[in-house]
Amino acid sequence: MTTQTATAVSTLEIDRSHSDVTFQVRHLLSKVRGRFNEFSGTIEFDESTPRNSRVDVTIQAASIDTGEADRDRHLRSADFFDVEKYPTLRFVSTSVTPRDGHTYDVAGDLTIHGVTREVVLPAAYLGAASDPWGNTKSVFEAELTLNRKDFGLTWNAALETGGFLVGDEVKVSLSIQAK
């Protein structure tokens, strides 16, 4: 006699009010930091069999916010994100591979500026907890570095002293609470 055990896949909605999608990129010699304020998505998480998990996140490109209105307008323009033509950035996972403990390699298709590339997002599951109102929240963090030129974001300005105004590497950080 064989017994089958059902796996418990939890479908979680991202709680935007308790989550962050941030980035940083070199500008001259310093770093400019920013965030996307509008995003949504689901995480189908199977803690016992992580390979059954899935992630689907959509970010509204026009919600980019670096704290400087003129720079944000430039980032929304055709020089960068071209939000009129490409209103969203999207990540859809294709596989979840356990690494160690509660860390995973989440491979998937990332689409930015109309260009889709496969990326591997190193992610950590920090656990679940109940808030004071009895809602259970699961918490995930992830961080990766992208080359913006791989996604057609090529605008730059040469500096008189050599080099360029904007760096190519963009560090993206995600801190997600999902319910």
- Report if residue 3 sits inside a domain: no
pLDDT digits (tens, 9 = 90+) for 66-117: 999 999 999 999 999 999 999 999 999 999 999 998 999 999 999 999 999 9
Q: Give the pLDDT band (50/70/90) at residue 1.
A: very low
- Domain with 119, as residue range(s), is 10-178
Q: What is the pLDDT of residues 3-31, one digit of tens each?
A: 444 557 889 999 999 999 999 988 766 79
Q: Which two tokens stand for residue 139?
A: 């918490």
Residue 5 belongs to a domain:
no
User: Could you tell me if residue 38 is inside a domain?
Assistant: yes
pTM above 0.85, yes or no: yes
The answer to whether 64 and 76 are in contact (CB under 8 A) is yes
Position 1 in a domain: no
Q: Which residue has the higher pLDDT, 127 or 28?
A: 127
Output Rg (C-alpha) for the chain, integer angstroms: 18
pLDDT tens digits, one per residue of 27-81: 766 799 999 999 999 999 998 999 999 999 999 999 999 999 999 999 999 999 9
Cα gap 20→3, rounded to integer Å: 42
- CATH code for the domain of 69: 2.40.128.110
Cβ density class 107-126: b for 16+ within 10 Å, e for less:
ebebbbbeeeeeeebebebe
* pLDDT grade for 159, boundaries at 50, 70 and 90: low
How many structural domains comprise the chain? 1
pLDDT at 176 over 50: yes
In a domain, 2, yes or no: no
